[in-house]
Structure 1
Amino acid sequence: MTDNLINQLVSAVPAPGHRLRIARLGGDESIELTEVHAAADRLAAALYADGVRPGDRIGILAANGLQWVLLDLAALRLKAVTCGFEPGKFDATTQTVDEYGLALLFTDATGARDTRIRPIAQVDELAKRQGGIALPWQRHEATTIKFTSGSTGRPKGLSASVGSIDSSLRAVQEMFEHGPDDDIFVFLPLSLLQQRYWVYSALIYGHDVTISSYAAAFAAMRRTRPTVVMGVPGFFASAQRHIEEQAARRSIGVAEAARALFGDRIRYLWTGSAPADPATLQFFDDCGMPIFEGYGLNETCIVSKNHPKANRRGSVGQVLPGKHVLIDDDGRVSVRSDDPVGMRYTFAAPGESERVFGTDGVVRTGDLGRIDADGFLWIGGRADDVIVLDNGKKVIVRPIEERLRDSPLIDQAVVFCPAQTHLVAVVSPAGDADPAEIGRHLARTNEALERDEQIRRVVLAAEPFSIDNGLLTSQYKPRRAQILARYSTAITAKGDGVHVH
């Protein structure tokens, strides 16, 4: 076998004494990692007997659960390719099976008549059969097709290589040294490949892992007492508000309220996928829960990460071994990897691969950034978020959006320039927002900005942005195109100040 962690994962029995826990609102399900390994082995044999062969694609369209984990691990043993479909973005239909070339599609949806579409509950019975399959992987081979979060247009599919997964797992373990006392808490969809890394890490390095959902996260953390929580910035901003409310209601310190929410064993918190509010990062540091921000894309995996041995607040960390950040004269960031995730999209509209991937595999990120003298990467926003006003002034909107989000009344802020003459912000409220108070915050924000950067009009969304209403991605990033379409009339309307829509 070639020397990579995926081969170790599929062939070596994990050390005893560690568990996978599925935490739901109604209670928890716990299973030894040794049994997870054995059940995946039996499931792989059952799938092989059912005709699944190396290179075949197995689709999974279901909420987080034990069956999801077992299918993914069984596919690895068979050298089949997992396609993780996010519920709500895809449908369990014959069209999906045909479009993505699936041998089988497992789902928790109901009503499908295609025999290739199976209920995911069937996994429980299949995993009881006799096992015995573990095929070796090469570094360049693809284990999975992962899909973009879909902030614009239909999600693009990208085949992810063994080498890219291996290098990321090794780098993360070097930085954070996960060990037998750790329990890593994961609640984002397992359709996102990076969330499955923590299951792989548990099996390889010997620690516990808890899988939950966003809806159950707060309740589950209190019960499970994790040592590490993986979350997007929006999750930690919501947690901060909850902690502050509980501290005020119970007349206790915020550190005590934070422990009541996250448990008393937190070693560190991990965030990325979108810009984090510096005030939120400082809040958790002050609570004794150090939080580390990083940077990466679906097309690159983890590029840089702050960690206990090297942390510079405001940056997204030092560049990882095997990653090479290239910054052109205009500040645009590209990334070259010793082990690329992929060299082009497997599923995408014509021209999309050429727009993102260079001929040598370099990924054009679309972000603006710089690297300081100590190797820390600083991201300044999206290149396409640079607005050029009719007077020639270039305005980078990300710092303005961050200033707007400084208010506890504002959860999200997206800045537009409807006529190239002035800026308009659409904001999603955090709780019951007072338009007058938001107006006062707007005035304070504008005082700190140059004239051309000032916000003339705020559109206050009557309905907060969410995944369900299509205005946030699965990683809780604003979907700019959808927000613009939803509020286009209000954005282009005349008048200054704050207007509720």
Structure 2
Amino acid sequence: MTEQSAPERQAPYAPVTDVVSAVARGVCRDTLHRFHYRDGAAVRSLSLADLDAGAVRVAARLDALGVRARDRVGVMAPNRIEWVLLDLAALKLGAVTAAIEPGRHRPAAMAAELGLRLLFTSDPYEGSGAGAVRDIGQVRAWAFDATGPSALPPHPGYDPADLCAIKQTSGSTGPPKSMEVTVASVNQSMAAVQDMFHHGDGDNLLVFLPLYFLQQRFWIYSALVHGHDVTLADRATAADTAPVVSPTVIMGVPGFYEQVRARLEAEGLPGDRAGRGEAIQRALGGRVRYLWTGSAPAGRQMLHFFNDAGVPLYEGYGLTETCIVSKNHPGAFRLGSVGRVLPHKWVRFDKDGVLIVGSSHPLNTRYTSAPPGADERTFLPTGEVRTYDLGHVDEDGFLYIDGRVDDIVSLSTALNILVPAVEERVRELPGVRDCAIFGDGRPYLAAVLSPAAGDLDAEALARDVSKLNRELRHDQRVYGAVVASEPFSVRNGLLNAQYKLVRARIGARYAADLEGVYADHPVCNDGTLADDTPVLVRTAATEPRGGQPEHDEHGKDPQK
């Protein structure tokens, strides 16, 4: 394949508001719009003006503790109001927020590795009232203590090339890597989103993905600058929070919407389009104008479920290293694509079909902390990012992601298969929630299946897979399957924080079960197997891990 670029169909740049400086140096006096947040079982609320004032008081405390402009303040905690207050406080001092996934690292080690002035953690075994590593619980008291200090030093201002955040990769392709983020990259991404979706008065954006993903904090900044409500929940409480706060926009991932769909289908849906749309709206609070999804591929059936019912679900594409690259949106939507490329981004494909992304204002051109060789593998001398995703752009400029380089399975019969397309079809089978396909160096493809609920009937599943095989190309056919002992989840380590398959970990956990399938079902897919070739399905002998198998009882990764 020769190197090619996307068609030149990009719109002019949207006017760029300096959102970062507006949050950092401005005083929010908005008493009309509100910040809603989960506090245990309750949903609490305060005005954006009160949220901003609380952040100023937290900033004054940080200043008293010695935090200065360009210092790094770490936050290592699940979603909570203290997270938001610390992030805003750091901006008000001209500092840098370093976001660290909780439960995966030792706080003291991360404080040293990233050069943090302070690190706030929810880990009861690490946080204290003094020293570099502190208990995040004290932050709320600082914010709402009206008698505490509130005077701040003069803000030095952020240059577009200054850093405002450090974020981590999800770790789905190896150890998490840390990356510094420039102010200009944040401002430009937010300007592009605002140009597409026009968030403003009357909107309420529901955020529940972890705040250690920088993009989730964009919507807090957006509320303060563009004037709208925003609600903070987490994965466990998102579905219950939506009917309470009636969001107009939900920032989700495919796994969340799949769960909504499964629940509604189990309850029974009206047969007409309008009735289905009303049922979806009731489940999500009744005011949804659109749903946002990304971070992992969205299945076509799920996209049709929402869009065909008149509840727009817009898929997009981006990476930690690039932020948002493309997005479907009102007026430019093509189901199955990840939208058109944003005006300040560009894409091209190398000779192997690998997607390369460039930006007028890159997040950065290197990692802050990463294994040796990671920079060279990811960042080109041009400043562009090699994504390792495979895709194409259609004649109208819509980008499609076909899979990843490491999603290609090479059978021992010299057949090479891009497996995400097969996995999507298998996920549509009754009783199957998720699927990971394996077969490198093997004579045929075999799947590890995550059950939707309860036990899967092995015989019925074998019949369903056999029927599906007759609809697939010969090279895509699946002749063996293992029913996992528990659903894939973030808690058991088989999905990452963005609900993507952790394929290597699934393969390692069910390696013995897969080995047994290949040993007991010695067929060879050389492209000539008959349509009625049987499928062997086994229930895994592997015991469920139950809980957090990748961490010890204190929530720490024993390998760190």
Q: TM-score, normalised by structure 1?
A: 0.95
8 Å CA contact 2:251–2:292 kept in 1: the answer is yes
Structure 2 CA distance, aligned partners of 1:201 and 1:345? 27
1:313-337 Cα distance to aligned partner (Å, 9 max, x none): 1100000011010112322101011
8 Å CA contact 1:306–1:317 kept in 2: the answer is yes
Indicate the larger mover: 457-466 or 35-44: 35-44
Indicate the larger mover: 396-405 or 328-337: 328-337
* Cα distance change, pair 240–396 in 1 and its aligned pair in 2 (3 A): same
Structure 2 CA distance, aligned partners of 1:136 and 1:437? 64
8 Å CA contact 1:222–1:260 kept in 2: the answer is yes
Structure 1 CA distance, aligned partners of 2:103 and 2:317? 26
Q: TM-score, normalised by structure 2?
A: 0.86
Where structure 2 has 5 or more consecutive residues not aligned to the other structure, the ranges are 1-15, 522-534, 541-560
1:202 maps to: 223
8 Å CA contact 1:269–1:291 kept in 2: the answer is yes
- What amino acid is the match of 1:257? A
Structure 1 CA distance, aligned partners of 2:301 and 2:295? 17
Matched, 1:119 2:135: yes
Indicate the larger mover: 75-84 or 164-173: 75-84
1:415 maps to: 437
Q: Report the CA distance between 1:390 and its aligned residue.
A: 3.3
Matched, 1:17 2:47: no
Q: Report the CA distance between 1:386 and its aligned residue.
A: 1.5
The equivalent position to 2:312 in structure 1, one of 284, 290, 301, is 290
Structure 1 CA distance, aligned partners of 2:257 and 2:460? 23
Matched, 1:243 2:259: no
Q: Report the CA distance between 1:418 and its aligned residue.
A: 4.2
Q: Report the CA distance between 1:353 and its aligned residue.
A: 1.0
> What is the 5 A alignment of 1:364-375?
364-375=386-397
Indicate the larger mover: 274-283 or 73-82: 73-82
Structure 2 CA distance, aligned partners of 1:443 and 1:121? 55
Structure 2 CA distance, aligned partners of 1:24 and 1:152? 34
2:484 maps to: 461
Q: Report the CA distance between 1:24 and its aligned residue.
A: 4.7
Q: What secondary structure does 2:447 align onto?
A: strand
1:7-36 Cα distance to aligned partner (Å, 9 max, x none): 112122334311111035511111111111
Structure 2 CA distance, aligned partners of 1:24 and 1:77? 25
- What amino acid is the match of 1:358? L
Matched, 1:225 2:241: no
8 Å CA contact 2:204–2:230 kept in 1: the answer is yes
Where structure 1 has 5 or more consecutive residues not aligned to the other structure, the ranges are none
Q: Report the CA distance between 1:77 and its aligned residue.
A: 1.4
- What amino acid is the match of 1:457? G
Structure 2 CA distance, aligned partners of 1:310 and 1:472? 31
8 Å CA contact 2:409–2:440 kept in 1: the answer is no
Aligned length: 498
1:31 maps to: 46
2:405 maps to: 383
1:500 maps to: 539
1:252-291 Cα distance to aligned partner (Å, 9 max, x none): 9543432231011000000001110111111112332110
1:132 maps to: 152
Structure 2 CA distance, aligned partners of 1:154 and 1:474? 13
8 Å CA contact 2:17–2:187 kept in 1: the answer is no
> What is the 5 A alignment of 1:179-218?
179-218=200-239
2:192 maps to: 171
1:74 maps to: 89
8 Å CA contact 2:325–2:342 kept in 1: the answer is yes
Structure 2 CA distance, aligned partners of 1:7 and 1:25? 32
8 Å CA contact 1:247–1:257 kept in 2: the answer is no
> What is the 5 A alignment of 1:55-454?
55-92=70-107, 94-112=108-126, 115-127=131-143, 128=145, 129-133=149-153, 134-247=155-268, 253-432=275-454, 433-454=456-477
* Cα distance change, pair 17–408 in 1 and its aligned pair in 2 (3 A): farther
8 Å CA contact 1:25–1:220 kept in 2: the answer is no
Q: RMSD of the alignment, in Å?
A: 1.9
Structure 2 CA distance, aligned partners of 1:283 and 1:264? 17
Indicate the larger mover: 256-265 or 221-230: 256-265
The equivalent position to 2:508 in structure 1, one of 485, 490, 494, is 485
* Cα distance change, pair 44–278 in 1 and its aligned pair in 2 (3 A): same
1:195-225 Cα distance to aligned partner (Å, 9 max, x none): 1011011111110000001111111111111
8 Å CA contact 2:412–2:440 kept in 1: the answer is no
- What amino acid is the match of 1:131? A
